[in-house]
Amino acid sequence: MKLSARNVLPGKILAVTKGSTTAHVILELAPGLTITSSITNEAVGDLCLKVGDAVSDQGAGRHYW
């Protein structure tokens, strides 16, 4: 599958590891299937990303990814 900013990948945040400017966010899409995204620390804060959070394109209380 070709990935772009328009893809929506629902899942659950397994880890958020902040570096000096960039964070790595591990997202579980299905049991045993994970991806790692590199985003700015500012984006982590703006999106209030936390381990255990659900990410989705819909639904109240969920983050957009």
User: What HEC string does the chain produce?
Assistant: CCCCCCCCCCEEEEEEEECCCEEEEEEEEECCEEEEEEEEHHHHHHHCCCCCCEECCCCCCCECC
The model's pTM is: 0.76
Please state the rounded mean pLDDT for residues 47-52. Answer: 92
Question: Does residue 5 lie in a domain region?
Answer: no
Residue 47: which domain range? Answer: 11-55
Give domain status of residue 61, yes or no: no
Q: Which span out of 2-6, 23-27, 53-57, 60-64 was modeled with the highest average pLDDT?
A: 23-27
CB 44 within 8 A of CB 18: yes
Q: How many CB atoms lie within 10 A of CB 62?
A: 13
| 2 is a domain residue | no
Average pLDDT, the chain: 83
Can you give the CATH number for the domain in which 44 is found?
A: 2.40.50.100
| Higher per-residue pLDDT: 6 or 28 | 28
Number of domains in the chain: 1
CA distance 65 to 50: 13
Residue 65 lies in a domain: no
